[in-house]
Amino acid sequence: MESHVIRILTAVPLCDGHDSAVCTVNQELIRAGIEVIYLGYHRSVADIVRAAVQEDVAAVGLSSYNGGHVEFFREVVQGLKAAGADDIGVFGGGGGTITPPDADQMMKDGTDKIFFAGTSFAEMTDYIKKQYARDLDCSSVDTSLTNHRALGRLLSCVEEGGIGEPEEGKSDTVRVVGITGPGGAGKTTLIDELVRNYLEQQPDARVAVLSHDPSAVSKGALLGDRATMVYAQDDRVFMRSLGTRGREGGLSPATEPCLHWLAGKQANFDLVLVETVGTGQEALPFRDNLVDVKIMVMNTDYGARLQLQKILMLEEADVVVANKADRPGSETTVSELNNHLEMLGGDRTLVSTIASRHGDPGVAQLLERILT
């Protein structure tokens, strides 16, 4: 079946000092209706291959300005082939650092295209849309989910409607956690620290992260949560990024079936974390039986105390997290949240965290609450 949205992974290799060029390219791709999974800069071959396979992208775009590009691109092509993903294309650019002879060698090594300085954005996006439009064959997908490659392709078919719900139900041992909150509250950083804590405690465990970002009017999207992840760059972690594709409320039309596959017996994950887009006051993204634990992440920027009464998710959450607790006004935030939760009644837990601080005790407390 035809995929109506092209998904591209972009990244900057190790030792490149900035990402200003690739961020500009990302924006143009989004305007052209392409979903861009941005991995960030200073990324290794292993990081890039892992992300490309898990996201099941049509191609990887690399921005390289610091030399070593011939070898780096070659290793990415070889890494994709070794992962059984040699259908994922590779393209890139590097201003004046990649010479025409370099580009000739890189294309001999398997790179599809090198864009030189002076190439228009229109020419670039036209090439990508023609080269990487693909038909997904969902009839022969490996539903035994023996590796990340099989799972990545299966979720693509789910997202495009080629595969439905799994026949088997939820695993008896998996814990599914939904995490929501306004933009800028620190959800992604908090998830990264939760993953680090959990894998330290359970070194043989397997974690899945289902992340969401809003789709643009153009139908493109910047799926950028991977760029701020540190500890989730691990072979024990499977991460998938979804655009909302017109769905309101913080999730995607494909969230529920994708989540059922990730939490199923065949996928064999121990912990599944679902992160919504930044949500508003009215959002209630997690229906009753979609997740085991509902977490609402707050920061100090919600406004006057009266605003808390308008945030519907505070009534539905099992745990409320007051993140960025080192910032001015955080003591007032915790006090007002505590008073509001007491007024609501029930047994909600309030946890204060500084997710940006390595080894924060509040994050450890939150993980303990999640697992009990």
Q: For 123, how many CA atoms within 13 A lie in the half-sphere containing its CB?
A: 8
Residue 143, in any domain of the structure: no
Average pLDDT rounded to a whole number, residues 339-346:
93
Q: Which of 17-26, 307-316, 360-369 has the lowest mean pLDDT?
A: 17-26
Can you give the length of the chain in residues? Answer: 372
Closest CA to 180 of 68, 36, 312, 85: 312
Q: Hey, is 370 helix, strand or coil?
A: helix
User: Which pTM was predicted?
Assistant: 0.95
Amino acid at 27: Q
Q: Are residues 322 and 272 in the same domain?
A: yes
Count structural domains, the chain: 2
Backbone angles phi, psi at 221, to 5 degrees: -160, 150
**pLDDT digit string, tens, across residues 84-120:** 999 999 999 987 889 999 999 999 999 999 999 899 9
Q: pLDDT per residue over 287-311, tens digit each? A: 878 999 999 999 888 888 899 999 9
Q: Count how many Cα atoms sit within 13 Å of the Cα of residue 308 in the half-sphere of its side chain.
A: 23
**Residue 291 near residue 274, CB atoms below 8 Å:** yes
Residue 202 lies in a domain: yes
**CA–CA gap between residue 144 and residue 259 (Å, rounded):** 16
Answer whether residue 62 is part of any domain.
yes
Both tokens assigned to 153: 């392709």
1: in domain: no
Q: Are residues 176 and 272 part of one domain?
A: yes
310-330 pLDDT, tens per residue?
A: 999 999 999 999 999 999 989
Give the residue numbers spanning the domain of 249: 170-371
The per-residue pLDDT for 301 is 83
What is the domain-level CATH number for residue 96? Answer: 3.40.50.280
144 falls within a domain: no
| 206 and 267 share one domain | yes
pLDDT reported for residue 1: 39
Tokens of 184: 């800028």
Q: Per the domain annotation, does 229 fall within a domain?
A: yes
Please state, in angstroms and rounded to a whole number, the distance separating the CA atoms of residues 150 and 172. Answer: 22
Average of per-residue pLDDT values in the chain: 94
SS3 339: helix
Position 91, amino acid: F
pLDDT for residue 2 is more than 60:
no
Distance CA 230, CA 211 (A): 15
Tell me the mean pLDDT in the region 245-271: 95
The tally of CA atoms less than 13 A away on the side-chain side of residue 156 is: 30
